[in-house]
Chain A
Amino acid sequence: MDWVFRNSGLVLELTGQHIVFSLVPVLIGLVLAVPLGWLANRTALGRSLTLNVAGFLYTLPSLALFVFLPPIIGTRILDPLNVIVALSVYVLALLVRTVADALDAVPETVVNSATAMGFRPGWRFLTVELPMAVPVILAGLRVAAVSSISLVTVGSVIGFGGLGKMFTEGFQREIPQQTISGIVLVLLLAVVVDGLLLLAGRTLTPWDRSARSRRTAGRAV
């Protein structure tokens, strides 16, 4: 570990980059997944279309996707945008399903009561259905965030920054300490982000401390 202390400046900088590069896609993916998940939940055609495309995208190996993207989105091969878009795609593919499932699981009686109380569909979705779906979405979000944190490192093979640089540099210069530190930092970051999301979920859904949250969290395994 003393390698980390001797090079703390570099390590901090890479960690900072890593946080941005891995979590921005999670945010983008989440924001896009909610309307798409809603769509998937509304119509049978929307469901089969979104979920099939999501399943297909998720099958693509990451290194291949990083390379696919430039001609499709018009970026250059070393543009950091490629990795951000690729990871957003994975997060989206994962969350669209989760959001659709989560909305499915909102009890019909609750939706009906809200309608009876005079909620219009749009407002009802935002204030009733979506909050009710938060625990399940959050379980998916945790998986997405953790995968994303680990996946960013693959980008460094084709010259992208973040903690993956600890691996490519550790490799080039044969520094096991740097490689191990990189692995430990990635795992640590994943644990911290996972914990924060768990905490955020608890705070967001004070009504949901019963067995249900435990059950849904376990289901996403």
Chain B
Amino acid sequence: MTYLGWLFSSENWAGSAENPGIAQRLVEHLGYTALTLLIALVIALPLGAWIGHTGRGGLMVVGIANALRALPTLGLLVLLFLAVGLGLLGPLIALVILAVPPLLAGTYSGVANVDPSIVDAAKGMGMRGPEVLFKVELPNALPLIIGGVRSALLQVISTATIAAYVGLGGLGRFILDGLSQRDFPQMIGGSILVALLAIVADLLLGGLQRLLVSPGLQQRGAQAGPGRLRLIRGGAGTDRARAA
């Protein structure tokens, strides 16, 4: 018996009205992920930049990010289902709650860790607060911000899988439905798709990171101490928290 046949059947990709296929589930999964990241970015980027720029509330951000590592995703999903009922809203709130802390932490530490001499130089050149933030601090913080996005992305892809338990579509359906129908090829096929999605998304963002970050900064990152390096690579590395 081969478990992989399920993955390569065009019938399984297309599905039917009574039985949605892989293509539809994949689009759903990507949709949930994109929507969550968008909302989380809108919340976390300005807030993190402001906290990093002013230096106020930094400890709180780190504390919350740490505490959320212990928050059980499944409990959150169930609680939100009981609170707001069936539909996209509950899981979406849960996903955003999980995506915000790594984005916030990445943006905050990125902005806060910009070399003070660079900021001083910018001020010396006559830049004002917002100018310093947008032209100097944020571009310099980009490696850490993208690191945060990578963490958040993996978190969301994982958690969206579990959200099938509270009635959401997406690739998690194959894992749970396969269990109910005693269809192991379906379960393993779904699992492979989720894992592939996570890996490909992480690689793409890694590439994006190299593309967007100014070459001068990458040079500097490579020479910086291990602590800094580790934060920069937080996305793919093993320092990021796992909650799902």
Contact = CB atoms under 8 A, between A and B. Distances in A.
The short answer to whether A and B are in direct contact, CB under 8 Å, is yes
B28 to A, nearest CB: 16
- Say which size band chain B's interface belongs to: 35 or more
Chain A residues touching B, majority SS: helix
Interface stretch (A39-47, A114-122, A177-185, A204-212): A177-185
Contact of B172 (A63, A101, A167, A171): A63
Contacts of B241: 143, 147
Interface in A37-96: 54-56, 58-65, 67-68, 71, 77, 90, 93-94, 96
Contact of B72 (A101, A158, A182): A182
Given A60-B198, A167-B72, A221-B66, A183 B79 contact: yes
A150 B194 contact: no
Interface centre among B72, B73, B172, B227 (most CB of A within 10 A): B72
A64 B175 contact: yes
B24 interface: no
Contacts of B66: 221
A166 B192 CA distance: 28
A71 B74 contact: no
B198 A59 contact: yes
Interface string A145-169: 0110111011011100001101110
A191 interface: yes
Interface of A: 54-56, 58-65, 67-68, 71, 77, 90, 93-94, 96-98, 101, 104-105, 143, 146-147, 149-151, 153-154, 156-158, 163-164, 166-168, 170-171, 174, 176, 179-180, 182-183, 186-187, 190-191, 219-221
